[in-house]
């Protein structure tokens, strides 16, 4: 049952919601697609909270690519020993995780502290922050506390190959059975977060303007071209 639902069906439900709903929102609800900044209401707290959180989550994302998407065989082939890998994973992941958690907590306090921000915070925004806090909090706890007290868990042999197998539609769900409960909860919460992305302000991460440095500084468009240049 656990294997069938949580590690086979559930990830695909979340992935489907993520893809379909993101596509739908981009196409049919395009005007809601923004990075809904509240910087105009409050700057001082945001300066710390937003920068710490965003850089933290970028580091965390890179860390997950290194730990989950890149197979352990690559590390073995490169001659990176497990101890070395885990040392850097715990140190780097710990810093990134703490940055995310601290940034999120500051964001949450900021929302309560400043009436201008509080009034303009929607339920969706609270859900986003609190759920991210849950996922990131679990991840940081696993990295910093579990790994150093209970023992370094080698997720590169269980969670990582399972996650990669989802993309080939040949899920190796039984790999997840032996995983510690804490890690399982983190994975499930993350998938709920993935499914929630298109319904929250998190969509702005898909619009990171990578093309900006290479485009011409001045933009001309003819009136007739209005609908041809939408992004």
Partner 1 sequence: MRIKAQVAMVMHLDKCIGCHTCSVTCKNVWTNRPGTEYVWFNNVETRPGVGYPREWENTDRYKGGWVLRNGKLHLRAGGPLSKLANIFYNPNMADLNEFYEPWTYDFQHLHKRDKGESIPVARPRSMITGNFIDKPEWGPNWDDDLAGGSESVPNDPNVRKLQEHVKTEYEKTFMMYLPRICEHCLNPSCVASCPSGALYKRDEDGIVLVDQDACRGWRFCTNGCPYHKVYYNWNTHKAEKCNFCYPRTEAGLPTICSETCVGRIRYIGVVLYDADKVKAAASVEDPKDLYESQLSVFLDPFDPEIIEKAQEQGINSSWIQSAQESPVYKMAIKWKIALPLHPEYRTLPMVWYVPPLSPIMNHITNEQELSAEGYIPAVDQMRIPMEYLASLLTADDTTVIRKVLLKMAAMRVYMRSKTVGGVDAQKMTKLMDEASTTGEELEEMARLLAVAKYNERFVIPTGRREMNDDLYYKQGTCSIEDLAPPEGMTTYPFERSEHA
3-state secondary structure of 211: coil
Establish if 224 lies at the interface with partner 1 (CB under 8 A).
yes
Question: CB of residue 197 vs partner 1: minimum separation in angstroms?
Answer: 15
Establish if 31 lies at the interface with partner 1 (CB under 8 A).
yes
Exposure string over 163-186, b if 16+ CB within 10 A, otherwise e:
beebeeeebbbebbeebeebbbeb
Instruction: Give the separation between CA 37 and CA 43, rounded to whole angstroms.
Output: 11
Question: CB of residue 192 vs partner 1: minimum separation in angstroms?
Answer: 25
Establish if 119 lies at the interface with partner 1 (CB under 8 A).
yes
Question: CB of residue 99 vs partner 1: minimum separation in angstroms?
Answer: 12
Question: Residue holding tokens 């409960």?
Answer: 181
Question: Residue holding tokens 């990295």?
Answer: 143
What residues from 120 to 149 belong to the interface with partner 1 (CB under 8 A)? 120
Segment near partner 1 (CB under 8 A); pick from 1-9, 59-67, 112-120, 167-175: 112-120
Give the largest Cα separation in the chain, rounded. Answer: 64
Within a 10 A sphere around the Cβ of 10, how many other Cβ atoms? 16
Instruction: Give the separation between CA 152 and CA 189, rounded to whole angstroms.
Output: 21
Print the binding letters for residues 32-71 with partner 1: x by CB under 8 A, - otherwise.
-xxxxxxxxxxx--xx--xx-xxx----------------
Establish if 181 lies at the interface with partner 1 (CB under 8 A).
no
Exposure string over 19-53, b if 16+ CB within 10 A, otherwise e:
eebbeebbeeeeeebeeeebeeebeebbeebbebb
Q: How many residues bind partner 1 (CB under 8 A)?
A: 47
What residues from 184 to 223 belong to the interface with partner 1 (CB under 8 A)? 204, 207-209, 211-213, 215, 217-223
User: Toward partner 1, which CB reaches closer, 124 or 161?
Assistant: 124
User: For binding to partner 1 (CB under 8 A), which residues are involved?
Assistant: 30-31, 33-43, 46-47, 50-51, 53-55, 115-116, 118-120, 204, 207-209, 211-213, 215, 217-227, 229-231
């Amino acid at each position: 049952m656990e294997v069938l639902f949580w590690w086979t069906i559930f990830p695909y439900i979340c992935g489907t919601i993520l893809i379909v709903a993101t596509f739908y929102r981009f196409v049919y609800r395009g005007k809601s697609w923004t990075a809904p900044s509240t910087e105009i209401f409050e700057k001082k707290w945001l300066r710390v909270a937003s920068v710490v959180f965003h850089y933290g989550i970028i580091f965390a994302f890179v860390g997950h690519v290194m730990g989950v998407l890149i197979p352990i065989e690559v590390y073995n082939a490169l001659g990176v020993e497990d101890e070395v890998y885990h040392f850097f994973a715990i140190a780097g992941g710990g810093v990134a995780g703490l940055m995310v958690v601290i940034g999120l907590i500051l964001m949450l306090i900021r929302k309560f502290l400043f009436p201008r921000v509080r009034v303009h915070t929607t339920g969706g925004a609270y859900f986003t922050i609190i759920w991210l806090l849950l996922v990131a909090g679990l991840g940081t706890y696993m990295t910093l506390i579990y790994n150093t007290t209970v023992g370094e868990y080698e997720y590169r042999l269980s969670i990582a190959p399972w996650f990669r197998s989802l993309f080939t539609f040949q899920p190796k769900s039984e790999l997840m059975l032996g995983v510690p409960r804490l890690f399982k909860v983190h994975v499930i919460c993350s998938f709920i977060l993935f499914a929630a992305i298109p319904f929250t302000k998190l969509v702005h991460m898909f619009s990171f303007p990578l093309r900006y440095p290479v485009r011409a500084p001045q933009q001309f468009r003819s009136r007739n071209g209005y609908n041809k240049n939408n992004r």
